[in-house]
Structure 1
Amino acid sequence: MFVVGYKLGRKAEAQPWVDHAEALLRRRGQPDRERAQWLHHVGMIAIAAGDSAGAEAFVSEAIGLYEKVFGPDHPRLVGLFNALGASKLRGGKYVEAQQLFERAVALDERAHGSGHPDLALPLNNLALSLERQNRYAEAIAALQRSQAILEAINPKDPTVGVIRQNVGGMLQLSGKPVEALTELTAALAHLEAALAPDHPAVAGVFTFIGDAKRDLADYPGARAAYERGCEIREKALGPDHPDLGLCLLGQAQIDLLEQKPAAALQHVDRALKNVAAATSDPGDLGLMHLARAQALRATGAAAESAEEAKLARESLKLAGVAGERGMKQLEAWEAAK
């Protein structure tokens, strides 16, 4: 169930294994340790499917059972804190996510020492929660610590490429697109060599590259990067997966910059449809509604545009500091009316 449902992201195919495992647990009287493992895996499958809200209930119950069986400081809890933190992160609960990732880092350090490879994932996740709070310098420091740990063991580890991708994304968000592009180009080369050009883990780099090139006004280059990211994800995950949301949003943003509002509307409508079944980051959702509002106004649908702008404002406000950049874009666009 874990390999098919989480590692391969095929929730429907994993369901018979989930049901089979649950039936065996019932026959055995639901022992705490095994039920905790089952809940953990079901939660991870939900996260892979984009259902972060659904994952929280499973993972929270698993944490309670593991704490009961092993105690509150057992290293087995690291993975669960990471999983719950990931669902909180996707749901826009950045401070809660940060606290869970900090617990995971502390547990791992206590159990294995400060240079153990198991620290790489919680440090990476901690950085993402800090980035959502616009704490870029702290986030990059956590990532670089994670990178150093992994490179000391295996410089070709694919996770090193993912970390460099995230550093590049944070440099772009902090207003340094040239530096970001240098880091992202290195991340792309690393991941393509370590995995394969069509591996779904490579897709995220292209979205970040698109963002950096957009900020440098290289619109054709940005569009090509977004399209490549979508192509990889669609091939691996299917056309309706929530993970296509950001590369579709990127294409819509380029459409708007190139004064193609009808194309922008098609791209952002598909992005919103794809993320509708998932627990979406409110900051990302706000940017999607903003792009849709801009496209609608440009096509003459003023009333519908105004309603979409309200949705954008609500989502960006919910995102807190992570939505500040989008909120400034919204306010500047509204002032230009």
Structure 2
Amino acid sequence: MSTVFISYSHQDEGWKDRVQSHLTVLEKHGKLSIWDDRQIALGGDWLSDIEQSLAQANIALLLVSRHFLNSDFIRNKEIPKLLQRREQDGLTVIPVMLTPCGWQHVDWLSAIQGYPKDNKPLSGMTEHQIDEALAKLAGHLPNLDSKLNDITVPDTPDTPQPETSPVVINNISGITLEEYEAGLLRQEKRLRDEFNNQPGQHNPEQEKLLTIELNAVQGRLANLQSSYQETRQRLEEADDALAQLKGELPELQVKEARELLARNDTQAAKQAFTDIVDKGAPSMALAAYESGKLEEEDINYAKAMQQYRIAVVLEEDNPDYLSAAGKMSRTLGDYPTALSWLESLLEIHKQSSDETMELADVQDDLAELFKDMAEYAKAEPLYQRSLGIKEKSLGKDHPSVATTLNNLAVLYEAQSEYAKAEPLYQRSLGINEKSLGKEHTSVADTLNNLAELYRAQGESAKAEPLYQRSLGINEESLGKDHPSVATTLNNLAGLYRAQCEYAKAEPLYQRSLGIKEKSLGKDHPSVATTLNNLAELYRAQGEYAKAEPLYQRSLGINEKSLRKDHPSVATTLNNLAELYRAQGESAKAEPLYQRSLSIKEKSLGKDH
């Protein structure tokens, strides 16, 4: 199988993603493997990784542009090694001409046959012709018996594009859904490899950030169409901001940033926004906010938070900046900061006499935050008020209403208020089936939640068919190794365990655990949940030696990734204490019971 090394300038990131999306089709079918420097792990020896990958490759694609030719690193580090391997080992080097540049003046480059034919740059083609040319190049790579000239590419149109034509993202093809998905899959692979291949080499904050970013990528893949549309919207908003800020930057810089943004290459746009912030221009708050959105789009959450924080400091009463900063703080687990910003945002919206959707949204965000913090009494009235506004503004059968109903039901279930939760789940399910279709993943989520409710009440006959239906939808829609599938497997196994059908439960727990460890990393809280549940299964069968290390590992993960007084920690402490009590080890059990009780009293109240 061929291994393809991609050499490119980071200013051509959008072009690299476009080329790679065509190669990914072949990679998925085992025809070749791809390497670019975005696969270098956080904190890794990047120069060593690049040199090792160069040594293993048998094909090198050079994405040639003026940025490529001006890169000192490419010229001094990558090219000499590539040319040496070409001379000594027969490495196939293929220059792919992206944009017009002075390649003719570079001796080594002018001596190598490039692509497309006659070194005509891809940028001179239409969007369809670019994809056609790249698809043909990709198809040629697994079998290099023929010459590059044998690949026919569409003729480049002779009519030049006017220099002053505006860039409007809605009017050009931009990134396709397939290219967007391919980019997400590469991000997922990079993050998973980074998390799993270097155990113990990350500090806790790095591991936490990697877990959060991996979850974000997988969430986008699970809701591909909607996340794709959100990406297009972010790009359009960034393009509008660049147009608005063009008076504060050189015209050529803005023009290039907008052109690259149209191909989902955000690097030049982020640099333009950063330049405005660095020089303290009048619109620096807007520039920081837009830069933060692009960093968030690229799953660079630490950088996004940095930019959002700048925007809020500069304009502390701007609702958009407060919302973005508050949500990102919650995503990163910085609950005190998130609470401060979201409460400020709530006060701004309360100043209006109207019950707007903006008010409903911030109430939802605050309720979710309080639920994360296990402050359930504060979350409930916020959900209720948001629900009332949505029903009034959108109608009682809108999907957004279904979302809030589901979230409120989850809140009640967490407090064992099952009679309040069930009708909310039922109503949410009915809305989603009607508005989204019976095979939608949102339907699967609510089916799973309703099944959990029935299981908690011992109504196994009602729960099992809902779990099975949820599992079927997710396996069909997301694939059999998706984390959502693992969640339903875990829950169905719990149902069988409660029915003492241990032989049915164990393989489901094992399969769930394997999926989660592979897709989320071995130290993810969801892994801890399945470890705890599998330990419970072994304890119920008297297999204490198997159970104890699983409890201990589950406890360690939750204390590290959540916090030591989180309700999930209390649950595992109680279960581990039960294990010791069953073995007559009271001295080990008592302090665990005491600690578990203290956590529960704090989060649920002493009379719960």
Residue of structure 1 aligned with 2:356, choices 113, 116, 120: 116
Between the aligned partners of 2:372 and 2:274, the Cα distance in structure 1 is 38
- Indicate the larger mover: 128-137 or 203-212: 128-137
Between the aligned partners of 2:341 and 2:536, the Cα distance in structure 1 is 37
Residue of structure 2 aligned with 1:223, choices 450, 464, 469: 464
Structure whose alpha-carbon radius of gyration is higher: 2
Gaps of 5+ in 2: 1-174, 185-219, 232-259, 278-285, 584-608
Q: What does the per-residue CA deviation read over 1:56-106, in whole Å, with 9 as the maximum and x for residues that have no partner? A: 3143033035347x62321221441353144235xxx55555445434434
| Matched-pair contact (CA < 8 Å) for 2:273–2:291 | no
Residue 250 (structure 1) aligns with: 491
Q: Does 1:200 align with 2:441?
A: yes
Shift of 1:222: 1.9
Between the aligned partners of 1:334 and 1:311, the Cα distance in structure 2 is 16
Between the aligned partners of 2:261 and 2:315, the Cα distance in structure 1 is 29
User: Which residue identity lines up with residue 495 of structure 2 in the other structure?
Assistant: I
Residue of structure 2 aligned with 1:37, choices 281, 284, 290: 290
Structure 1 residues 88 and 247: CA distance shift in structure 2, 3 A: farther
User: Which residue identity lines up with residue 457 of structure 2 in the other structure?
Assistant: L
TM-score by length of 1: 0.78
| Matched-pair contact (CA < 8 Å) for 2:274–2:291 | no
Q: Does 1:84 align with 2:328?
A: yes
Gaps of 5+ in 1: 47-54
Instruction: Tell me which protein shows more helix as a share of its residues.
Output: 1
Between the aligned partners of 2:547 and 2:538, the Cα distance in structure 1 is 5
Residue 144 (structure 1) aligns with: 384
Q: What does the per-residue CA deviation read over 1:14-34, in whole Å, with 9 as the maximum and x for residues that have no partner? A: 8x9898422442785755556
Between the aligned partners of 1:84 and 1:161, the Cα distance in structure 2 is 24
Structure 1 residues 181 and 37: CA distance shift in structure 2, 3 A: same
User: Which residue identity lines up with residue 150 of structure 1 in the other structure?
Assistant: K
Between the aligned partners of 1:106 and 1:56, the Cα distance in structure 2 is 26
Matched residue SS, 2:332:
helix
Between the aligned partners of 1:102 and 1:279, the Cα distance in structure 2 is 34
Residue 335 (structure 1) aligns with: 581
Shift of 1:151: 1.1
Residue 109 (structure 2) aligns with: none
- Indicate the larger mover: 323-332 or 156-165: 323-332
Residue 547 (structure 2) aligns with: 305
| Matched-pair contact (CA < 8 Å) for 1:78–1:108 | no
Shift of 1:261: 3.2
Residue of structure 1 aligned with 2:508, choices 260, 264, 267: 267
Residue of structure 2 aligned with 1:288, choices 530, 534, 552: 530
Matched residue SS, 1:76:
helix
Q: Does 1:209 align with 2:450?
A: yes
Structure 1 residues 185 and 326: CA distance shift in structure 2, 3 A: farther
| Matched-pair contact (CA < 8 Å) for 2:288–2:311 | no
Shift of 1:230: 3.2
Residue of structure 1 aligned with 2:416, choices 163, 169, 175: 175
Matched residue SS, 2:224:
coil
Shift of 1:107: 4.7
The size of the alignment, in residue pairs, is 324
| Matched-pair contact (CA < 8 Å) for 1:2–1:41 | no
Q: What does the per-residue CA deviation read over 1:108-156, in whole Å, with 9 as the maximum and x for residues that have no partner? A: 445x666220232332232222223333232111100111111111123
Residue of structure 1 aligned with 2:302, choices 57, 63, 73: 57
Shift of 1:196: 2.0
| Matched-pair contact (CA < 8 Å) for 2:448–2:470 | yes
